[in-house]
Amino acid sequence: MTMNIYKIQNAEEIKQSENSVLVLGYFDALHKGHQQLFEQAKKAAAKEGLRVAVLTFPESPQLVFSRYNPSLLDHINFPQKRYAKFAEYGVDDLYLIDFTSHFAKLSSDDFIETYIKALKAKKIVVGFDYKFGYNQADSDYLKRNFQGDIIVLPEVQYEGSKISSTRIRSLIQKGDVRQVEQLLGYAFSTRGIVVHGDARGRTIGFPTANLALIDRTFLPSDGVYVTDALVSGRRYRSMTSIGKNITFGGTELRIEANIFDFDGDIYGETIEIFWLDRIREMTKFNGVDDLVTQLKSDEEIARNFENS
């Protein structure tokens, strides 16, 4: 079944035709904790023939509350991947509304009377720490004021600590992409258009696809990584460097993927890089011979890497 995506500005624009199990939250990461919510929603919906609906935001609510810094516009998943995950987890109707000052001023009662009513919610699924309305009401408030079932999911942990988007962002920025995958339940990825670079890699036997990023997503820290590259629907093992190419005096951030067992010109194509593990940090080598020796070692690690 195809998921419907609706971009709305207010409750009046909601066109929910059937009763729903409503899942509420921001869901930037769609990690293993979030997945538990959708699993419960799917089960509840199947029992009573309801649709699974989600009301969420394209951008972080923190844009309204925090002093601006550019990272507030960055995401863990690019939009198309985020929507694909919602669909994969059983969402029938996805409603996207901008979190504005006006929306932030809604009281909890008004939110229930307008949005929840318009979404024809018979059941609501939220996490244990869900808050809503300018008065920051919680799930207990929902239980007292919503005429239907409230399903509250407890904290989901990994290695003794809560799985959260904040924790995942921190791990990405440290380059610990292997643990990121453990928390997400799928590989973290980045999209880019293949553009011309210095073509230096080709001259030393390691041709690379240089990526111009097309999404505002968080990036791993500088280093060389085991990756997979999705090119024209096919996934290839690869190794990808992110950094300033300091051996050759580079000053601009570059993302360069050496795609194994692939030969072809793909300039202008959009490819997706799946970050699997970090091999090493960026290093300045004394010369090309030292660099090539290291790249051969990196390639062996990348080719032999197995997802656990």
Tens-digit pLDDT profile for residues 267-306: 999 999 999 999 999 888 888 888 899 999 999 999 999 9
Residue 167 lies in a domain: no
Q: What CATH number does residue 111 fall under?
A: 3.40.50.620
Residue 150 lies in a domain: yes
Helices (H), the chain: 32-48, 62-65, 79-88, 101-104, 108-111, 117-118, 139-145, 165-174, 177-184, 200-203, 288-304
- Our count of domains for the chain comes to 2
Q: Of the residues 160, 179, 200, which one is the last residue of a structural domain?
A: 160
Bridge-based pairing state of the strands 149-153 and 121-127: parallel
Question: Do 255 and 207 share a domain, yes or no?
Answer: yes
Residue 220 lies in a domain: yes
Question: Do 147 and 291 share a domain, yes or no?
Answer: no
Query: Does the model's pTM come out above 0.85?
Result: yes
Question: Do 130 and 244 share a domain, yes or no?
Answer: no
pLDDT at 204: 79
Question: Do 113 and 195 share a domain, yes or no?
Answer: no
Residues 6+ apart with CB under 8 A from 268: 193, 194, 195
Residue 149 lies in a domain: yes
Question: Do 8 and 127 share a domain, yes or no?
Answer: yes
pLDDT in tens, 235-279: 999 999 999 765 555 557 899 999 999 988 999 999 999 999 999
Alpha-carbon distance of 16 to 117, in angstroms, equals 10
pLDDT at 251: 58
Residue 180 lies in a domain: no
Residue 179 lies in a domain: no
Question: Do 154 and 35 share a domain, yes or no?
Answer: yes
pLDDT at 244: 77
Question: Do 12 and 126 share a domain, yes or no?
Answer: yes
Residue 182 lies in a domain: no
Question: Do 201 and 285 share a domain, yes or no?
Answer: yes
Domain, as residue range, for 267: 187-303
How many Cβ atoms are within 10 Å of 149's Cβ, its own excluded? Answer: 14
Q: Of the residues 160, 175, 198, which one is the last residue of a structural domain?
A: 160
Residues 6+ apart with CB under 8 A from 65: 104
Residue 59 lies in a domain: yes
Question: Do 146 and 253 share a domain, yes or no?
Answer: no
